[in-house]
Amino acid sequence: MKTAKKRRAKAHQVAVAAAALLPLSLTACGGSGSAGSGSPNTLTIQDYYEPAHDPIYRSCAKTTGVGVEISHIPGPGLIPKVLQQSSSRTLPDVLMLDNPDVQQIAASGALAPLTDYGMSGDGMVEAVVKAGTYEGRLYGLAPSVNTLNIFYNKDLFEAAGITEPPRTWDELRAYAKKLTGQGRYGFAMSNINTYEGSWQFLPFMWGNGGSEQNIAAPETAQALQFVLDLQNDGSISKSSVNWSQDDVISQFIAGKAAMVVNGPWQIPTLRKQKNVTWAAFTVPTRLASQTTVAPLGGEVYTVPRTGDKAKMTKAGQFVKCLISPEMQLESAKLRQTVPSDLKVAAEFGKSNEVIAPFVTAVKTARARTAILGEEWPKAATRIYTAVQAALTGKADPAQALRQAQSQ
Amino acid sequence: MTSADLRLGAGAGPLGRGARWSRLVRRHSHWLFSLPAIAFVALFFGYPIVQNVVMSFQEYTTETFYTGEAPWVGLANYVTSLSSSLFTTTVVNTALFTIGSISFQFTIGLALALFFKRNFPLSGFLRSLLLLPWLLPLIASSAVWKWILDQESGVLNQFLGLFGIAPVPWLVSPGLALAGVIGVNIWLGIPFNVAILYSGLQAVPRELYEAGALDGAVGRKAFRHITWPSIRPVVSVVMVLGVVYTLKVVDIILGLTGGGPANSTQTLATNAYNKSFVEFDFGQGAALSNILIVVSLAFSLVYLYISRREPDE
């Protein structure tokens, strides 16, 4: 009896230690992907889109004369999957990446420069090229991109007698206050403790001249103070520290928020609902003389180094097709995003009233990794840490930023 | 050994070797029986632990996966982790989370187990219903709780509003978020405590109560002098296992608050998860989880010590 008990105890002890390790070993040795093998004329494609995106791939497959094998990975699982494929050398032939992740993956040496396949990014929005460039070499390009704007409830604006969207922070604050009441907030944004929270704060920080290089700066403190003022006015819910961007749009659709920071990928959802009539405007700046600088969002296509030169050339051609003006337009229509090419974007903006303010915002948008490169995630962590500390009253904005910067 | 022996051994040749071989097999054959277990433990528990310890001494990042290079950095990951301003916060949160969860889980669990000990109509059915929180996928129950605890539209605050209580910022205020998360974890842990303690209570011989009743030990006295001493071994098992399970809770916290707001619900386990799988700094994540393993190990040793002290049945 005694030994049996002892053995059981030991098993528990080991099981506990192993359970703590489980997540680590999961990434270290998962099942290997389908990529890397197959017929020489079939390219494997990996993204986190929905099957609705497949016609674009099929059409480019026809143009480049290859077959395609598409696998869609759920968003948060893409990078762990890519890391696992990197170590087992089973990367797909064409890989989609969220633009702030490109630098880290390129730094590992897993990607081939797109210039090898005759792509340069000429004519594209500067931020798109910057997002895909690591140490002076271009590794990824996006057919269409997105950024953040503010969606507003047209009926509520009308009822409050507001005719023009706000241009400055003061106007935004006054309008938000006016629109607050009857179980409704005038303004909503995501201030959650993830990279999403940092991304939503960037239009205010960058628009006021703040930089991620050092967030303990007066410009950034002003921006954070502004968000805090909105909260102190009661114009923004204290729950915003727990809201994701999707929660924010749900508040908007439920009529519980009059203005919300969000991106064009929500347009299909907004079109489906009948509760709220809406439009969008670019994020206001502190002074009317400042230019809006919103963060660039969107996914880029890359060509991983699979070791098969012939296939990589085909993959290069395939990516070249994906970022061609025609396909940019297709992808922009499908995802309600903005074509990366300035000319195509201008055309698209003219034909689509809803997307027009996003086209304007993308022109001056900035890539998150433009300054810090692969170090961006660390800065993003600092930003949301400071935002959370200030909004929960743990520190005043300047102090919160200083603490986060020195973390 | 004498020279005669030696000569005999040499002269006997194959026979002597065979005898020695069989003696060897006899003496060590019990190892063969434990070989599958040893292999299993080494492969599935030993390897990951060793790998994790090695990883914690390396700069193991996204690049490592492609290049296979993880520069040796010695204790740097531990120094960074221990000197981070977040470390104290996470240790305090982990301690509060564990103590808060265990004390309530145990008290409520024991009360329910005692309640269900007396059989009444539907008691079996109700007892099995009690297991429900245990059976639900954690991420689903955390989503439901997130909705229940929502400040503005959550059902709990709407209910409290009926009594004129202003909306409570359960998961939003840094002062309350930890309490909110602990509350959900208590709900989650009660079934485990009830199940084990109930079976412990079942094992207490009925005669003891009958004999005790003759001596005037009923009600509270019976619990103090009969029930409690009888279930003490079970209690220590529940406590130690509970502590070890609670220390490493990640999913429920990630589902409810993600460690926020302002790190007020960040524990050692969630911080290790964040380092490894959000910031992809696997070296530091490994260092943090090793610290957690050491703490769990300390409690496991307490468990071993207690279970060894137990009288044999």
pLDDT in single tens digits along all 407 residues of chain A: 344 444 444 444 433 333 444 444 344 333 334 444 567 899 999 999 999 999 999 999 999 999 999 999 998 899 999 999 999 999 999 999 999 999 999 999 999 999 999 999 899 999 999 999 999 999 999 999 999 999 999 999 999 999 999 999 999 999 999 999 988 999 999 999 999 999 999 999 999 999 999 999 999 999 999 999 999 999 999 999 999 999 999 999 999 999 999 999 999 999 999 999 999 999 999 999 999 999 999 999 999 999 999 999 999 999 999 999 999 999 999 989 999 999 999 999 998 888 999 999 999 999 999 999 989 999 999 999 999 999 999 999 999 999 999 87
Asked if A83 lies within 8 A of B45 by C-beta distance, the reply is no
Q: Is residue B161 less than 8 Å (CB to CB) from chain A?
A: no
Answer yes or no: is pLDDT of B131 > 90: no
What tokens were used for A239? 């729950």
More confident residue, A15 or B92: B92
Residues of A in contact with B44 (CB under 8 A): 18
Contacts 24+ apart (CB under 8 A), B174-177: B174/A392, B174/A393, B174/A394, B174/B261, B174/B262, B174/B264, B175/B264, B177/B257, B177/B260, B177/B261, B177/B264, B177/B265
- CB atoms inside a 10 Å sphere around CB A41: 11
Contact residues, chain A, for B64 at CB < 8 Å? 108
Is the Cβ–Cβ distance between A61 and A102 less than 8 Å? no
β-strand pairing of A140-141 with A149-153: unpaired
Residues in chain A with CB shorter than 8 Å from the CB of B68 are: 87
Of A86, A256, A391, the CB nearest to B65: A86
Comparing CB atoms, the residue among B258, B269, B313 nearest residue A1 is: B313
Residue A2: per-residue pLDDT: 40
**Tell me, what's the pLDDT at A30?**
36
The two structure tokens encoding residue A199: 């991304």
Inter-chain CB proximity B65 and A389 less than 8 Å: no
What number is the average pLDDT over the span B40-68? 92
Query: Which residues lie closer than 8 Å to A350 by C-beta, 6 or more apart?
Result: A356
Ordered alpha helix ranges (H), chain B: 3-12, 14-41, 47-56, 62-67, 76-83, 85-117, 123-129, 132-135, 138-148, 155-161, 174-202, 206-214, 220-222, 228-247, 251-256, 268-277, 282-309
**Which residue has tokens 């195509």?**
A344
Partner residues linked to A97 by β-bridges: A300
Dist. CA B93–CA B106, nearest whole Å: 20
State whether residue B257 sits within 8 Å of chain A by CB: yes
Q: How much is the pLDDT for B9?
A: 44
Please give the C-alpha separations between residue A345 and each of A50, A338, B270, in angstroms, as whole numbers: 23, 6, 42
| Chain B residues close to A25, C-beta within 8 Å | 48, 51
What is the Cα–Cα distance from A234 to A223, expressed in whole angstroms? 17
**Residues of B whose CB is below 8 A from A379:** none
> Which pLDDT score, from 0 to 100, does residue B304 have?
82
| Closest residue, chain A, to B44 (C-alpha) | A18
User: CA torsion B5→B7→B10→B14, rounded to 10°?
Assistant: -60
ipTM above 0.90, yes or no: no
Q: Is the pLDDT of residue B3 over 70?
A: no
Segment B177-204 shows an average pLDDT of 94
At B60, give phi and psi (nearest 5°): -105, 105
What is the predicted pLDDT for the residue at A31? 37
Model pLDDT, residue A89: 92
Beta-bridged to residue A278, according to DSSP, are A153
β-partners of residue A295 are A366
Determine the pLDDT at residue A252: 97
The 8-class DSSP code of residue B45 comes to I
Taking CA–CA distances from A386, the nearest residue in chain B reads: B262
The C-alpha atoms of residue A111 and residue A359 are separated, in whole angstroms, by 29
Q: pLDDT tens, B243-280?
A: 989 998 999 999 999 998 999 999 999 999 999 988 89
Whether B272 contacts B292, CB under 8 Å: yes
B261, B282, B293 ranked by CB distance to A242: nearest: B261
- Angle made by CA atoms A349, A324, A333, in degrees to the nearest 5: 40
A241 neighbourhood in chain B, CB within 8 Å = 172, 260-262
Question: CB contact, 8 Å: B207 with chain A?
Answer: no
What is the number of residues in chain A? 407
Q: Coil, strand or helix: which one is A354? A: coil
Q: Which residues of chain A lie closer than 8 angstroms to B94, CB-CB?
A: none
Query: Which of A79, A193, A244 is the mutation pick for testing B, counting most B CBs within 10 A?
Result: A193
Sign of CA dihedral B14, B15, B21, B25: positive
Distance separating alpha carbons of residues A407 and A403, to the nearest angstrom: 6
Q: How far is CA A7 from CA A75, B111, B235, in A?
A: 42, 31, 19
Alpha-carbon distance of A397 to A237, in angstroms, equals 18
Is the CATH code 2.60.420.10 the one for domain A149-294+372-405? no
pLDDT at A23: 43
| Nearest-Cα residue of chain B relative to residue A90 | B66
Res. B311 pLDDT band, cuts 50 70 90: low
B183 touches chain A (CB under 8 A): no
Residue among B150, B174, B289 whose CB faces A21 most closely: B289
d(CA B277, CA A34): 23
For B22, residues 6+ apart whose C-beta sits below 8 A from its C-beta are none
Closest partner CB to B304 (pick from A9, A239, A377): A9
Which range has highest mean pLDDT (A5-19, B177-191, B293-307)? B177-191
| pLDDT the model gives residue B19 | 83
Cis peptide, bond prior to residue B133, ω within 30 of zero:
no
Q: Cβ–Cβ of A194/B278 closer than 8 Å?
A: yes
Quote the radius of gyration of chain A (alpha carbons, Å). Answer: 23
Q: Residue A20: CB partners within 8 Å, gap ≥ 6?
A: B248, B269, B289, B292, B293, B296
Cα–Cα distance between A215 and A247 in angstroms, integer? 27
Number of Cβ within a 10 Å radius of residue A406 = 9
pLDDT at B310 over 70: no
CA A191, A196, A198, A203 dihedral sign is negative
Give the Cα separation of B212 and B220 in Å (integer).
12
Superfamily for domain range A4-145+298-363 = Periplasmic binding protein-like II (3.40.190.10)
Residues of B in contact with A194 (CB under 8 A): 258, 278
Q: Do A20 and B292 touch (CB under 8 A)?
A: yes
Select from A70, A407, A108 the least CA-distant residue to A399. Answer: A407
Please report, as a single letter, which amino acid is at residue A68.
V
Cβ distance A24 to B48 less than 8 Å, yes or no, reads: yes
The nearest CA of chain B is from the CA of A12 a distance in Å of: 8
Indicate yes or no: CB of B307 within 8 angstroms of CB of A6: yes
From A260, A171, A231, select the one nearest A387 (Cα to Cα).
Answer: A231
* B171–A contact, CB cutoff 8 A: yes
Residues 6+ apart with CB under 8 A from A231: A238, A240, A391
Q: CA of A291, closest CA in chain B: separation in Å? A: 31
Instruction: Read off the pLDDT of each residue in B115-133 and give the average, rounded to a whole number.
Output: 86
- The backbone torsions φ and ψ at residue B113, rounded to the nearest 5 degrees and listed phi first, read -65, -45
Whether the CB-CB separation of A45 and A68 falls below 8 Å is answered with yes
> pTM for the whole thing?
0.85
Q: Which of A32, A48, A164 is nearest to A98 (CA)?
A: A48
Of B204, B201, B149, B199, which is closest to residue B179 (Cα–Cα)?
Answer: B149
B223 DSSP 8-state letter:
I
The pLDDT, as a whole number, for residue A38 is 64
CB contacts of A27 in chain B (<8 Å) are 277
In chain A, where does the domain assigned CATH 3.40.190.10 lie?
4-145+298-363, 149-294+372-405
Chain A residues touching residue B62 (CB < 8 angstroms): 79, 83, 104-105, 107-108
Q: Residues of A with CB below 8 A from B301's CB?
A: 13
Distances, alpha carbon A107 to alpha carbons A132, A375, B69, in Å: 12, 11, 13
Beta bridge partners of A302: A95, A140
- Closest-CA distance, A155 to chain B, in angstroms, reads 23
Which of A21, A87, A403 is closest, CB to CB, to B48?
A21
Q: How far apart are CA A404 and CA A215, in angstroms?
A: 8
Residue of B nearest to A15 (CA): B45
* Crossing angle of the two packed helices A325-335 and A54-64, in degrees rounded to 10: 170
